[in-house]
A and B are shown apart, each in its own frame.
Chain A
Amino acid sequence: MSFVLVLTTASLTSVGIYLITSRSLSRIILGFSLLSHAVVIGLLAAAGPAGQAPLADETSAASSANPLPQALSLTAIVISFGLTLFLLALARRQQAVTGDDLVEDDLEDRRIRQSSSDYRSEHP
């Protein structure tokens, strides 16, 4: 397994995870694009040694690269492309509704915070 592939996967993953922990959905989308690149490279690394293009009539099985992870990568790329579009639409809608594309706290978090601050104001 190539060291360069592993290093690329690792750095893409770390930058991607840093980005998706952010509040802004547009940063999260960038993070997911990087993560899906990392996964595709990871799949390539899992495929074993590189070889010639796996065309059925032209290369022998021994000298060609493993075609299965390439097929899996293509499917993964298509799916992540579609989902990126969906996320962009969601960010656009959130921007239309709230004027921003920030991911807000869920109701439960807000309720707990509210009740604890209520308690504190009642029992100073």
Chain B
Amino acid sequence: MSELLGILILGPFVSAALALGLRRYSIMRDALTVSSLLVVTVSSAFLFYFVNRDGTYVVTIGDWHPELGIVLVADLFAAMILFIALATILIVELYSLFQRASVWGANPFLVGPVLLVLTAGVTLAILTGDLFTLFVSFELILVSSYVLLTHQGRPPQIRSGMTYVVMNLFASTLFLLGLAFVYAATGTMNMALLAERIPELQDEVAWGIGLWFLVVFGTKAAIFPLFSWLPDSYPTAPTTITAVFAGLLTKIGVYCIIRFHTITEMNDLGPIILVAAGLTMMLGVVGALAQNDVKRILSFHIISQIGYMLMGLGLFSVAGVAGAILFLFHHMPTKTVLFLVGGLIESSSGTSSLDRISGLASRRPVIAALFAVPALSLAGLPPFSGFVAKLSLVDAGIQSVSVPIVVVALFVSILTLLSMAKIWLEVFWGDRKDIGEPYKQTSDLIGWRYKAMVLTTGVAVAGTLVIAASAGSLWEMSVRSASELMNSSYSSQVLK
């Protein structure tokens, strides 16, 4: 098992260095990137299986006592999210390999290696057991995202990249200051010890720490009112990059909020989180309705969906947190797939602006079918995965008698459907328009590349259907991981 964790943490780092060295030999670089992502994904599947069977797995690096050294903790929550995150990255890397000939494709020199660094950061952020390593892994994720966002150096990317970098850098500075506060108050960075010591602090100090980290992680997760950087910066990146960001970056922020605020028993912050959740849902979807570009609509939906995960956490009940975990699990691949379909739309029309595309369903019926499934899933229609996730959240809300947030959640679902219908009407129905002239010269739609992109997206869509089909056992696992988080068994498992 410790070998498994070693592969998961070190594998992406080592192959990132190798891939950067091999960046000019495209076949070797791509083979290395894909194979190491494949190895890491399979390892995380094994980890998921073992943790689900045997319970939480703890590795103390260098055999130091958890109080002194760095620990890696693979509990069921971490294993679930890690598996789905890595599977999502693998799908995007495959898709980006096929997209390369296009003007919207990212630069192959950098994407493979930097994506591997991002993978390493994601694994470390999910598995780490202390706050400072979490900070370092956040920096790894953010630095690679800065590079991925701006590496083409086009004016809109530089413009939005400046806002993005400054916002996230400020949040990182707040994170470090928060670490100083936590250390001054408790004398440790280890999350298991913090889970014991923070509830014992004076209420004011504990709430201060809770609110501070809500702001820190909330900026990365784009919750209300800290979301304005997201819809501006994400759509300017190449589609594959936006797909990774959409599926992973904000979700890691949500993962940390769920992890930190449940184990340190911040139940008193519940009402604040619920209000933020409701406003995040509402403003995200209203923003989406006002947009006129596929990528921008989808970016606003990221914000709206973050609200649902926060809603589950804000209820601070086992059912609520389990709903949030299931929602996170469903949302990462679904959102990424929607952006990949957005990439297909862009590739086949030469634009992602709703005004300039029309009648795509008759020209490319497969893209229409691939869009319909995740779009309906995002809106929460049965029998797709989004329905199960939203049902569990609404059910938890009713159990906790939090009527306002349930009403908001259901209302936002309708608005989500409306804005998906808007994309459908404008892009897929209507008269056919001619493809933009400059686009005809690129080779994206010729032969096997296009077919391979469609096939990759199809596999990912099938994956989201598998999530819907296995919702029963996933729900059972979410409940188990939520009760592990809520009944403070985390610290006893780590410090045993």
Contacts and interface: CB of A to CB of B under 8 A. Distances in A.
Dominant secondary structure at the B interface: helix
Given A42-B177, A46-B181, A108 B136 contact: no
Contacts of B180: 39, 42-43, 45-46, 69
Interface stretch (B10-18, B159-167, B216-224, B264-272): B159-167
Contact of B158 (A47, A72, A93): A93
Interface string B151-171: 001010011111101100110
Given A42-B180, A46-B181, A86 B165 contact: yes
A39 B169 CA distance: 13
B162 A103 contact: yes
A69 B136 CA distance: 14
Contacts of A69: 180, 183
Contacts of B362: none
A4 interface: no
Contact of B169 (A32, A38, A75, A98): A32
B232 A43 contact: no
B228 A106 contact: yes
Contacts of B162: 25, 90, 94, 103-104
B105 interface: no
Nearest to A107: B232
A42 B170 CA distance: 16
Interface string B186-229: 00010000000000000000000000000000000000000010
B179 A98 contact: no
A69 to B, nearest CB: 6
A46 to B, nearest CB: 4
A100 B177 CA distance: 32
Contacts of A25: 162
Contact of B159 (A68, A76, A104, A108): A104
A90 B161 contact: yes
Given A43-B176, A46-B180, A93-B153, A72 B132 contact: yes
Interface string A36-69: 1011001101110000000000000000000011
Contacts of B158: 90, 93-94, 97
Contact of B179 (A1, A43, A103): A43
Contacts of B232: 106-108
A83 interface: yes
Interface residues of B, number: 32
B452 to A, nearest CB: 32
Name which of B132, B159, B232 has the most chain A CB atoms within 10 A of its CB. Answer: B159
B160 A106 contact: yes
A35 B155 contact: no
B26 interface: no
A20 B179 contact: no
A106 B163 contact: yes
Given A46-B183, A69-B183, A90-B161, A39 B166 contact: no
A30 B57 CA distance: 44
B377 interface: no
A111 B287 CA distance: 13
A82 interface: yes
A43 B183 contact: yes
B83 to A, nearest CB: 29
Contacts of B146: 86
B159 A72 contact: no
A79 B165 CA distance: 14
B153 A103 contact: no
Contacts of A104: 159, 162
A79 B189 CA distance: 19
Contacts of B231: 108
Contacts of A39: 173, 176-177, 180
Interface string A100-124: 0001101110000000000000000
CB-based closest 6 A-B pairs: A106-B232, A46-B184, A42-B180, A46-B180, A39-B176, A46-B183
27 contacts: A1-B184, A38-B177, A39-B176, A42-B177, A42-B180, A43-B176, A45-B184, A46-B180, A46-B183, A75-B136, A76-B176, A79-B139, A83-B139, A83-B143, A86-B143, A86-B165, A87-B166, A87-B169, A90-B150, A90-B158, A93-B150, A93-B158, A97-B155, A98-B155, A106-B160, A106-B228, A108-B231
Interface of A: 1, 20, 25, 28, 32, 35-36, 38-39, 42-43, 45-47, 68-69, 72, 75-76, 79, 82-83, 86-87, 90, 93-94, 97-98, 103-104, 106-108
Given A38-B177, A72-B183, A106-B160, 5 more contacts: A43-B183, A46-B184, A90-B150, A98-B155, A104-B162
